[in-house]
Structure 1
Amino acid sequence: TGANYDLNYSPQRTFVAGPQTFLFNPGWTSGLALTLTQPLLRNFGTDINKTFIKVAQNNAKVEEHVFLDRVLTVIATVEQTFWELVFANENLKVAQAALKAADELLASNRAKAKAGVMAIVDVLQAEAAVASRVEQVLIAEKAIHDQEDQLRRLLNPSEEELRQDVRLVPLDQPVKTLEPISLPEAIDVAMERRPEILQAGKNIETSEINSKFAKNQLLPNLSFQGTSGLAGLGRDASDMFTKGASGDYYNYGAGLVLSMPLGNRSAISQFNKRQIESRNAQVTLQSIRQQVIVGVREAVRRVQTDFKRIETTRSARLMAEKQLQAERERLNVGLSTTRFVLDFQRDLATAQGSELRAIVDYNKSLSNLARNKGTTLERYHIELQ
């Protein structure tokens, strides 16, 4: 309620030298006083006097939400980097398969040229293609090492561990099936789980508490004050304590104390400031909620689009395989050239890379959707202590 209790005990010994007419010299006096001050307007009430406690508790919650937001961002970044490492490893397999196909074509062309049924220019074209495929393999291998370093750095290793040349082999396979997604449900979950919304909600609560406190400070300072005490006087300490505890010498009093600053400009300014802060906090929450809705909608569209990309790129890859097979058969019967076969080999490698990119992007989109919904921890069964 804002009441203030003050208990004061003041023993004292006095001695006056020379002629004197005191009853006791030396004399011992004591005073025991209990004073109660209870605000009646300003600073009255349990809620008002718990203002700073509630604000501190809200600030602690805000810091928890800030920490959670950082954790979700780190996990999402690690996951995105992991899928890029998966892509780099699979892309190397595509490059190696293209190199193998070019090597087989080169061997076949050399045999035919040696038998005199194929021109040397076809051999040269195949050799150039092999050299180009070797370059693609080297680039793919470098990409793997780059992604491994990026992922290793995110895992916060020691400097000694970072110096070591340790390979990181992804074990999880990318998801290729469409997960059921409900846009309204995803938005509702995001509204309940996103740390930014929870943080903004706590900021509004804090601003309202501060506004309520500032409004209370506009009131006059009217307090009830009551005091009661005991006094003791004796020739020594024992005598003083005995008379003081007897209760024969007591005093008491009560009254009202009123004070009001002229103009009260400081309290008025503080109240206006808190009102503005409260409105700003509400506007901030509204803006964040809008951003979350837009972000979730975009994340859902991205998941749906990337899954459709998997289907279309798979069809393109199957067609590229059939076209390459048909062109090889035409080459075997002399109806095609090495250049056309190499072109179809390149088209197949491109189609395989596009399909792989679509699959990885789909898995990254699922990760992004979980981040936008604020469910990344539940997705991987992670608990923060």
Structure 2
Amino acid sequence: MQTHPPRSIQLVAIPLVLSTLAGCASPLQPQSSSELQRSMVLAIEREVDQAKAAPERRTLSLQTDLTKLEIRPDHLKIIEDEYSVDGYLAQLGALDTLDSPGLAELLGEDLLGQPTTMVPISLENAIHASTGNNLDVEIARYAPAISEAGVVQAQAAFDWTIFGEAQYQDSNTPQPGQALGGGSAAIVRNASQTTSGSVGVRKDLTSGGSVSITHDLNNNNVESSFFGATPVPNPARTTGVTAQVTQPLLRGFGSDTVLSEVRLARNAERGSVSTLRSQLIATTSDTERAYWNLVLRYKELVIRHKLLQRGIEVRDDIKARRVQDARQAQVADAVARVERRRGDLLTARTNLRIASDQLKSLLNDPNLPVGSEAVILPAHDGIEEELGFSLVEAISDAVTNRPELETALLTIDDATIRETVAKNLRKPRLDLIAQARLVGLADTFGNAYDDTDANRFVDDWILGVSFEQPIGNRAGEAGVRSARLDRMRSVVQYRRAVQGIVLDVKDALNRVFTNHTLIEQSTLSRVAQGEALRSLIVEKELTNAGYSIERLNLELNQQEALAAAELAEASALVAYNTSLVDLYEAMGTTLQRNRIDLVVPDANQLAAGESPMERAGDGQQAGEQDAEGDE
């Protein structure tokens, strides 16, 4: 099996992180940023205070000293060839290539009753496929584009708006007239036709006010009865231009309040990018874990198969001794052991298929759907990757890179914005209103415009203020109190996020250290167990007592002990690689480790026919790339 190239951890010193938090430009409001930053810096310093006392990096060596076992070199060679997973793969013809008839026969038939098809895939290509095709990542990719549209919507509230209306009215109204010469009064019929229309523009200002300019036209034609008076001019054409400005002076004044929705929308956009990065990290890590789980299931299948083969040989030897000293109970026990091993083999085969399907689900490769009966087989064995680490540097790296902290910081900023708005809404409402209107009246619209230009008629000038204040102002005070408490809670949530990240890093480092130690311990155990079985088989072949029932039962026990040691060794190596995945995920450096660049698509790139999923189908898929590489 190929070996994955070692990848080093890129770490950042903790003083740099703390100075960045203390001195960088913050999106928080100036009046609160120093207090919040001090709280955040103290939260980090408290967690790394003890770790800073020992900043030296520790290097984990991966050399296994087999001389401790005092086994001859030629015997060690036999053990590696005949009592190890690599030796079993060589016997199946699958050590250097997974496309072997022996391995295909070991996998058996698929759900369709056909021989199993195997698709080798490397870890790099598996990660590449999952980051490009995974459905959870695909869903997360839409969030930044949606949030970007939300920012545009919030900004559009300050765009110019054009408006207009038109109306026609036909009126025929009777009304009393004047009496002439003491006679009775005649009823006057008032008939008129009025056509009016207006068009204008208005805009909300970032100061909280608004401005509008309106142009209106009016055509009024009056038709009276014989005794009615007709106005002059008739028809009358009226033109008018109205300009109006409203500006809050207290409540609703200022860009800090008016632009709050824009700032919240921008924070939501940043948060969606952090969520996308978090989803990419989680998907990449889940893919690696699924890959290493598949490696373990693959090794378990080979180990179970070899254990069954050895058990069948000893069972046949015990059956052959029925004519000498084998009792029925001893024969039945040997048969039961073999059948139990056969059941374990079937379970291991099913576990391998389930692990393969789980990896398919993460890859979402169009050429390798979950419904396919092809089995993914890993092209890499467990990676014995050397690691140098320092607790303070690992925590520093996590604080720098974890998207959860960025999200927590945005939550603080959102709460600060809402508190600023709440403080503004607590103020009384005092609005300034200013309006000017120019009107022209004539028998034609042209003359009416001339009147307007000459300022013959000024309809009105308005300058006023309006005031409003709730008695007691309980709603405003409660809103400020609620917003302040929400802001305080967001700071505590940030501290909790820091604590959780430190816990994740420490847990991952502890598992890395333990699993690294278990690799050597389990290897020594497996080699020693292999030597025990090898010696027992040699004694069986060289002495007459080797085929006694007691020795054969001992051989069965030694076989099972060796299989358990082999599984423990495979589990330790896979657990070490999985704990490395957990460590990089805890530090937030999974994408850097796998050389993945985060590209945030905009709405146009996610339009129909342009989604990352559809573009992925244009090139070679993961399984195809690895298959061509094996050829």
Output the TM-score relative to the length of structure 2.
0.55
Deviation at 1:194, TM superposition (A): 2.1
For residues 99-118 of structure 1, what are the structure 2 equivalents within 5 Å? 99-102=308-311
* Other-structure match for 1:155: 363
* Other-structure match for 2:575: 361
For residues 184-223 of structure 1, what are the structure 2 equivalents within 5 Å? 184-223=392-431
Residue from 437, 452, 458 that aligns with 1:244: 452
1:176 has 2:384 as partner: yes
* Other-structure match for 1:287: 496
Report which stretch shifted further, 71-80 or 95-104. Answer: 95-104
| Deviation readout 1:87-124 (Å, 9 max, x if unpaired) | 0111122223334444565677899x69x9x8556995
Report which stretch shifted further, 157-166 or 236-245. Answer: 157-166
Counterpart amino acid of residue 352 in structure 1: E
Deviation at 1:54, TM superposition (A): 0.9
1:333 has 2:543 as partner: yes
CA contact (8 A) 2:433 2:463 kept: yes
1:275 has 2:480 as partner: no
Deviation at 1:4, TM superposition (A): 1.3
Q: C-alpha distance in 1, partners of 2:280/2:408? A: 18
Report which stretch shifted further, 56-65 or 276-285. Answer: 56-65
1:141 has 2:349 as partner: yes
* Other-structure match for 1:371: 585
* Other-structure match for 1:54: 263
Q: C-alpha distance in 2, partners of 1:248/1:231? A: 8
CA contact (8 A) 2:360 2:369 kept: no
Residue from 235, 246, 254 that aligns with 1:26: 235
3-state SS in 1 of match to 2:388: coil
Q: C-alpha distance in 1, partners of 2:531/2:583? A: 36
% of aligned pairs identical?
A: 25
| Deviation readout 1:336-363 (Å, 9 max, x if unpaired) | 5222233222221111111001001111
Distance 1:335 1:180, change over 3 A: farther
Q: C-alpha distance in 1, partners of 2:565/2:572? A: 11
Q: C-alpha distance in 2, partners of 1:317/1:72? A: 35
Deviation at 1:159, TM superposition (A): 12
Counterpart amino acid of residue 20 in structure 1: A
For residues 69-80 of structure 1, what are the structure 2 equivalents within 5 Å? 69-80=278-289
* Other-structure match for 1:6: 212
Q: C-alpha distance in 2, partners of 1:127/1:255? A: 103
Counterpart amino acid of residue 454 in structure 2: S
* Other-structure match for 1:380: 594
CA contact (8 A) 1:33 1:229 kept: yes
1:345 has 2:559 as partner: yes
Q: C-alpha distance in 2, partners of 1:242/1:356? A: 96
Q: C-alpha distance in 2, partners of 1:177/1:157? A: 28
3-state SS in 1 of match to 2:430: strand
Kindly indicate which of the two structures has a greater share of residues assigned to helix.
1
Counterpart amino acid of residue 230 in structure 1: L
* Other-structure match for 2:19: none
Report which stretch shifted further, 189-198 or 159-168. Answer: 159-168
Residue from 25, 36, 54 that aligns with 2:245: 36
Gap regions ≥5 residues in structure 2 = 1-206, 601-631
Deviation at 1:271, TM superposition (A): 1.8
Q: C-alpha distance in 2, partners of 1:139/1:17? A: 100
CA contact (8 A) 1:227 1:253 kept: yes
CA contact (8 A) 1:178 1:307 kept: no
CA contact (8 A) 1:126 1:338 kept: no
| Deviation readout 1:262-285 (Å, 9 max, x if unpaired) | 332322222222122212222222
Distance 1:66 1:169, change over 3 A: same
3-state SS in 1 of match to 2:478: helix
Deviation at 1:174, TM superposition (A): 1.4
CA contact (8 A) 2:217 2:239 kept: yes
Gap regions ≥5 residues in structure 1 = none
Kindly indicate which of the two structures has a greater share of residues assigned to strand.
2
3-state SS in 2 of match to 1:14: strand
Q: C-alpha distance in 1, partners of 2:208/2:469? A: 18
Distance 1:189 1:238, change over 3 A: same
Distance 1:52 1:163, change over 3 A: closer
3-state SS in 2 of match to 1:180: strand
Counterpart amino acid of residue 241 in structure 2: L
Output the TM-score relative to the length of structure 1.
0.87
3-state SS in 2 of match to 1:175: coil
Q: C-alpha distance in 2, partners of 1:72/1:31? A: 63
| Deviation readout 1:221-264 (Å, 9 max, x if unpaired) | 22333333322111111110121123344454534443323332
Deviation at 1:58, TM superposition (A): 1.5
Report which stretch shifted further, 347-356 or 275-284. Answer: 275-284
Deviation at 1:42, TM superposition (A): 1.9
Counterpart amino acid of residue 257 in structure 2: I
1:96 has 2:305 as partner: yes
Counterpart amino acid of residue 188 in structure 1: S
Counterpart amino acid of residue 270 in structure 1: G
Q: C-alpha distance in 1, partners of 2:394/2:473? A: 50
Across the aligned residues of Structure 1 and Structure 2, the Cα RMSD in angstroms comes to: 3.0
Counterpart amino acid of residue 527 in structure 2: L
Question: Higher relative contact order at CA 8 Å, sep ≥6: structure 1 or structure 2?
Answer: 1
Counterpart amino acid of residue 43 in structure 1: G
Report which stretch shifted further, 158-167 or 191-200. Answer: 158-167
Deviation at 1:307, TM superposition (A): 0.7
1:224 has 2:432 as partner: yes
Q: C-alpha distance in 2, partners of 1:157/1:132? A: 37
Residue from 520, 526, 546 that aligns with 1:317: 526
Q: C-alpha distance in 1, partners of 2:411/2:568? A: 46
Q: C-alpha distance in 2, partners of 1:62/1:82? A: 30
Report which stretch shifted further, 215-224 or 231-240. Answer: 215-224
Distance 1:335 1:208, change over 3 A: same
